[in-house]
Amino acid sequence: MTVEPHHPTPAQYWKIAALLAVLTAIEVAIYYVHLEFDLGNLNTISLLILATLKFVIVVAFFMHLRYEKTVLNRFFVGGFVLASCLYAVVLAALGALIIRGS
């Protein structure tokens, strides 16, 4: 019974979770700022970046994908990229890929 040496320690997990919480708080804050002072496309872009960050952090550290074999990375990223591409095309073809800034 050995612990993978590179895995984060509990203390580090708490820090990562705190970071996730802060990012979520920023997201909600941006949402309200946008309601008051129209941020336009900046709202969409910043929220998507923040969501991506949270997504990547959970996958990399909590799911330990950072420390896993390449084969798992490939499958996971492959599934994500495939899904994104296919549905982006479907939505574009159905005329629904208009990101509204306001």
- Is the CB of residue 65 less than 8 Å from the CB of residue 76? yes
Classify burial at 6, counting beta carbons within 10 Å of its beta carbon; exposed 0-12, middle 13-18, buried 19 or more: exposed
What is the smallest separation between the CB atom of 53 and another protein, expressed in angstroms? 9
Give just the sign of the alpha carbon dihedral 33, 29, 32, 40.
positive
Region 34-93 residues binding another protein, contact defined as CB under 8 A: 43-44, 47-48, 50-51, 54-55, 58-59, 61-64, 67-69, 71-72, 75-76, 78-80, 82-84, 86-87, 90-91, 93
Does 1 sit near another protein (CB under 8 A)?
Answer: yes
Does 26 sit near another protein (CB under 8 A)?
Answer: no
Give the closest residue to 62 by CA, choosing from 2, 1, 26, 19: 19
- Is the CB of residue 27 less than 8 Å from the CB of residue 45? no
Which H or E run contains 74?
helix 70-93
Does 22 sit near another protein (CB under 8 A)?
Answer: no
Give the binding site for another protein (CB under 8 A). 1-4, 7, 9-10, 13-14, 16-17, 20-21, 24, 27-28, 30-31, 43-44, 47-48, 50-51, 54-55, 58-59, 61-64, 67-69, 71-72, 75-76, 78-80, 82-84, 86-87, 90-91, 93-94, 96, 100, 102
